Amino acid sequence: MNKKSLLTKCFFLALFLISPIFANDSFHLNLPKEWKKISDASQLPNKVVALYVGKKRGQFTPSVNLARETTELDGAAYAKLAKNYHENLPDTTCRPLGHIEIAENVTNLLQIDKETAWGGLRFLQATLVSNGTAYVITATAQVSEYASLYPLFYEAIKTFHPPTSSDKQ
């Protein structure tokens, strides 16, 4: 098994098998008031702690979600693992967009394009590691709508503040 394949499998396992426990969801992520926030754990996939849904445009409703998991990796290693994971998915391309600083943490950005039943989807994904927790913010829209939503997605990501270590129990 090559190193890339092993990294991809480890990332997959981390996404679907490890579930951190937090007593307090005191993160901050700002989206327009008209976007509906869903934070009921029974309605969300594993690891997703909040989902924001915008107004439906065409066949697909744009969304922003926040997922988290415990990790021993630093931000650069976690971002590399995420990139490798996406690059190995069928009908998917992944392009690093560099990084920005959010809440004194380096945040890595990826653009992910995927062909789906709804047509082409584009994701802006930000990964940030703080106090042993990886936070993944994923903003999604149809490729045809992405350019008009990108400023909103980017600004929402810039508003993110993870909980401080005293907020996690």
As given in the structure block, the two tokens for residue 123 are 């994701």
Helix (H, G, I), strand (E, B) or coil at 42: helix
Which long-range contacts link 135-138 to residues 24+ away (Cβ below 8 Å)? 135/27, 135/66, 135/67, 135/68, 135/160, 135/162, 136/66, 136/67, 136/68, 136/82, 137/29, 137/64, 137/65, 137/66, 138/64, 138/65, 138/67
Per-residue pLDDT, 17: 30
H or E element at residue 52 = strand 48-53
Distance CA 23, CA 73 (A): 22
H or E element at residue 9 = helix 3-17
Q: 119: which strand partners?
A: 116
- What φ, ψ does residue 103 adopt, rounded to 5°? 50, 45
The domains located in the chain, with CATH, are 3-158 (3.40.1000.10)
Helix (H, G, I), strand (E, B) or coil at 150: helix
Q: What is the pLDDT along the chain (169 residues), one digit of tens a residue?
A: 555 444 444 444 333 332 333 333 567 788 888 999 888 888 888 899 889 999 887 788 999 999 999 999 999 999 999 999 999 999 999 999 998 888 777 889 999 999 998 889 999 999 999 889 999 999 999 999 999 999 999 999 999 888 765 544 3
- 92-126 b/e (C-beta count within 10 Å ≥ 16 → b): bebeeeebeebbebebbbbbbbbeeeeeebbbbbb
